[in-house]
């Protein structure tokens, strides 16, 4: 029978950067800088969870954005255009990601809970390694140090929504059974990643991209407001197949205890 061996955590919107604002604001800035093209923050959030080049490509293929792009430039967005936006995105993101590296409340407490139980902590992100190197150092200064990190582009087979980054963590951590792993993410592609890897999955509804709340907005929200945002944010996570959905990483231990009980009953993901 499998036992709970590891959690694989996402980064922005899951452990750092409440509301996942670092990538979204930089996408808006990169589109404007590279091509003078106006992209809204809400539009930038659409494909969140994908690798960043793939994210830009997905934005360019979104019907409303594609129509505006063709109207402005007279042709669909090409892969060369995506390359140009990505080139603008990278230095901006490297320069500013540390500004959004504050830990989501509950991260250190949950990490301590996992350590006490001998549960390994892997992680992966849609950020490329150049960005992750900056973010890893900034998070370490705040006390968060996972056992392993996989960045987008480091696995030859590809990144989300495929299973490869999550499975690379399994290999690096020496996990005996993927059914003893839990993928934790605030985006639908990250939940798809975990399901395709054969893992349990936990979606985070209020700290990440699906809700888009800042930490002050989250803290100020009353129960009714949180319930409305939670319902809206949970739709994509549930559709992606999340086994459990909780508000933030602070509630992750509760979800893991539920998964442990299901494992004890002989269930598998």
Write down the catalytic residue from 10, 54, 185, 186: 10
222 in catalytic set: no
List the catalytic residue out of 3, 17, 52, 81.
52
Contacts of 83 (CB under 8 A, 6+ apart): 53
Task: Give the whole-angstrom CA distance, residue 55 versus residue 72.
Answer: 21
CA–CA separation, 181 vs 194, rounded Å?
9
User: Contact at 8 Å (CB) between 202 and 249?
Assistant: no
Q: For residue 97, how many C-alpha atoms fall within 13 Å in the half-sphere facing its CB?
A: 27
Quick check: is 52 catalytic?
Answer: yes
Please give the Cα distance from 83 to 53 (Å, whole number): 8
Closest-CA residue to 186 (of 208, 167, 201, 159)? 208
What are the DSSP calls for 90-107, one per residue?
A: HHHHHHHGGGG-PBPTTH
User: Please, which residues have CB within 8 angstroms of residue 227's CB and are 6 or more apart in sequence?
Assistant: none
Q: Catalytic site residues?
A: 10, 52
């Amino acid at each position: 029978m499998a036992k709970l061996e590891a959690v694989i955590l996402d980064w922005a919107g899951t452990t750092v950067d409440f509301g996942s604002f670092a990538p979204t604001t930089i996408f808006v800035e990169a589109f404007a800088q590279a091509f003078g093209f106006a992209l809204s923050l809400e539009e930038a959030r659409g494909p969140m969870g994908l690798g960043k080049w793939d994210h830009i490509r997905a934005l360019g293929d979104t019907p409303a954005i594609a129509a505006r792009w063709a109207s402005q430039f007279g042709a669909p967005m090409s892969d060369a255009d995506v390359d140009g936006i990505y080139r603008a995105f990278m230095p901006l993101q490297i320069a500013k990601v540390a500004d959004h590296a504050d830990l989501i409340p509950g991260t250190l407490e949950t990490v301590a809970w996992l350590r006490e139980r001998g549960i390994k902590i892997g992680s992966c992100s849609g950020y490329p390694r150049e960005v992750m190197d900056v973010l890893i150092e900034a998070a370490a200064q705040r006390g968060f140090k996972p056992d392993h990190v996989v960045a987008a582009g480091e696995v030859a087979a590809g990144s989300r929504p495929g299973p490869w980054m999550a499975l690379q963590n399994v290999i690096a951590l020496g996990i005996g059974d993927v059914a003893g792993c839990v993928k934790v993410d605030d985006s639908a592609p990250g939940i798809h990643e975990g399901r395709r890897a054969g893992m349990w999955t936990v979606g985070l509804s209020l700290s990440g991209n699906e809700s888009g709340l800042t930490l002050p907005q989250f803290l100020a929200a009353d129960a009714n407001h949180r319930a409305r945002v939670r319902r809206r944010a949970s739709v994509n996570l549930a559709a992606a197949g999340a086994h459990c959905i909780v508000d933030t990483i602070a509630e992750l231990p509760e979800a893991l205890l539920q998964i442990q009980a299901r494992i004890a009953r002989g269930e598998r993901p």
